[in-house]
Amino acid sequence: MIRRRVFLIAVALQIVVLLFMVTSSYALDRFGKVITIQTEAYDTEDVFYGDYVHLSYLAETVRSENWFATDDVRSNQQIYVLFTPDEQGSIILRQHLIVK
Amino acid sequence: MKKSWIESESKKWVEEGIIDESQKEAIASRYERQSTPMLFFFLAAVLIGLACLSLIAANWTSIHHLWRVVLIIGAMLSFYFVGARAFMHNRQGIGVFAFVVALSIFGAGIFLLGDMYHFSMNSAFAFLVWGLAVLLIYLSQPQVFIWIFGLVVVFIGQFVSTMQLHDFDWLLMALFVVGYGTVGYFIKQQNLMWLFTSLLSILLLAFSIQELTYYWYTIFALILYLFSYIIKTGVVSKPLQGVSILSMFIIVVYQALFFNWGWQPVVNDIVYYLFLIPFLSLAVLLAVLNRERFGAIQIVLFLPVFVWPEFSTLLAALVLFAFSIGKMIEGDQLEDSRKEKLGIIAFLISVSIVYVEVAWLVLDRTLFFLIGGIILFIVGLLLNRYQQNQMKGSDDHDST
């Protein structure tokens, strides 16, 4: 009887996990705030792949004047960043902090 | 041991009058037929799971997002339903098969949905949820293959997290040791504990390499070794001791081979010695208290050979020789041929390493391979003669 209950709970939890992933994404679409991030293209020509466009976000780049933390950053370390809109309303990275 | 072999052999024993028919039956009944169909069901489940995965992945982009969710959850629930029905009708093989497929779909579902809805997957959290789900399903239906499946899921998650994401996940480690370890302890099957301990030691080595320095693994291996005294059950203590000794042997081989190539660490870490010295002393004390004369010899593998930088390669080689000779003598004294063979193999490896270390730098390449071949040939001849003497000795013993 207990095993049956554990089985039902285990299956139910798995469904909850999967549904949570789906609904949280739609909730973000419904209730989240839309921001505009400027993209930039690079490497538009390649000997092997031909012409193609690879886009990256401008906000991903940290300019040296915005760097306020130490240089000692480990790979995969969490970094908190502050985004603010620029004159055109596009979001850029203003500041970032490292939480040890 | 093969049941068919026992049956054919015991038939001869009955004919020769060594045993009678009832004794033959009694001996044969001790060797249960191994459940090969179960293994086939398990492998079939894994293959079909992979097939489903690749089929869906190939056509994935043309299906609407919400239909994909329905497909994943529907397929998972169907396999759980089939599995539960099979267990109710006492068809264990099909039940395990269906459950493993359902759990594979759940795991794949996490990653597929993560990809669809742009979840950041740079942590082992998905593996934690997956591993927990497998453990819960195991608790509801305690089948060994489900446990193995979960163990491998958690192991892969932790390994990927440590080596690729450079982030050792402590929650996942807790699930591995406390969750799967405790269950494995209660299953009481030695081969499963060997699997568990081997995977655990690989994770500890990965942790040492990524988060500390490789030599910290010595401390973890020593803790596993000490645990083999605390948990006295043979099912657990043998794999614990075996894996810690074997992994340390590999570490010392590495040290003997690669220290000369400039890979030798400079160990000024006092904290390391603060852990090592008390644990080593405790290991020696336990070996003495348990009257294990040879237990103390195998502890040499844990010695920090890099403590004397100029002679560390020589020290590593000496440690290997001390261990292998100790094992051979132990095997001989206790009349344990397995230990004796282990000692011989360890000795052969030690000889080869010393030969490579010394000869590669000095000798011409052709001469190097030629002398190496001759040395191995002579060792082989000696081993052969030794084994023949052993067999002769045991025949003489039988005839008297």
Whether B21 and B45 share a structural domain = no
Look at residue A100 in the predicted model and tell me its pLDDT. Answer: 40
Give the highest mean pLDDT range of B145-159, B233-247, B305-319: B145-159
Whether B74 and B104 share a structural domain = yes
Quote the number of domains for chain B.
2
A1 at interface of B, judged by CB pairs closer than 8 A: no
Q: Let me know if residue B284 belongs to a domain.
A: no
Whether B12 and B41 share a structural domain = no
Min CA distance, B117 vs chain A (Å)?
A: 6
Min CA distance, B143 vs chain A (Å)?
A: 13
Return the minimum-mean-pLDDT range out of A39-48, A49-58, B182-191.
Answer: A39-48
Q: Let me know if residue B123 belongs to a domain.
A: no
B76 at interface of A, judged by CB pairs closer than 8 A: yes
Whether B21 and B79 share a structural domain = no
Whether B65 and B8 share a structural domain = no
Average pLDDT over residues A68-82: 71
Q: Let me know if residue B169 belongs to a domain.
A: no
Q: How far apart are CA B167 and CA B210, in angstroms?
A: 8
Average pLDDT over residues B143-155: 94
- For residue B33, pLDDT beyond 70: no
Average pLDDT, chain B: 83
- For residue B31, pLDDT beyond 50: yes
Angle between helices B65-88 and A2-31 (to 10 degrees): 180
ipTM of the complex: 0.71
Whether B51 and B103 share a structural domain = yes
Q: What is the pLDDT of residues B315-324, one digit of tens each?
A: 888 888 888 8
Q: What is the pLDDT of residues A26-45, one digit of tens each?
A: 888 888 888 788 887 776 66
User: Are the C-beta atoms of B196 and B235 separated by less than 8 Å?
Assistant: no
Do residue B137 and residue A25 have CB atoms under 8 angstroms apart? Answer: no
Q: Cβ contacts (< 8 Å) between A14 and chain B: which residues? A: 76, 106, 133
Q: Cβ contacts (< 8 Å) between A19 and chain B: which residues? A: 69, 73
Q: Let me know if residue B3 belongs to a domain.
A: yes
Q: Let me know if residue B71 belongs to a domain.
A: yes
Paired tokens of B170: 């402590």
Give the highest mean pLDDT range of B39-48, B99-108, B253-262: B99-108
Extents of the domains making up chain A:
1-32, 35-100
Min CA distance, B73 vs chain A (Å)?
A: 7
Q: How far apart are CA B346 and CA B120, in angstroms?
A: 47
B200 at interface of A, judged by CB pairs closer than 8 A: no
pLDDT range class, residue B247, cuts 50, 70, 90: very high
- What share of chain B has pLDDT > 90, as a percent? 25
Whether B54 and B13 share a structural domain = no
Look-up: residue for tokens 């090969």? Answer: B36
Do residue A11 and residue B77 have CB atoms under 8 angstroms apart? Answer: yes
Look at residue B335 in the predicted model and tell me its pLDDT. Answer: 74
Average pLDDT, chain A: 77
pLDDT range class, residue B395, cuts 50, 70, 90: low
Average pLDDT over residues B26-55: 74
Residue B48 lies in domain: 35-86+98-112
Return the residue in B64, B66, B140 with the most chain A beta carbons within 10 A, the one to mutate for interface testing.
B140
Higher-confidence residue: A26 or B49? A26
Look at residue B166 in the predicted model and tell me its pLDDT. Answer: 82
How close are the terminal C-alpha atoms of chain A, in Å? 47
Whether B68 and B105 share a structural domain = yes
Look at residue B314 in the predicted model and tell me its pLDDT. Answer: 79
Whether B57 and B104 share a structural domain = yes
pLDDT range class, residue B44, cuts 50, 70, 90: confident
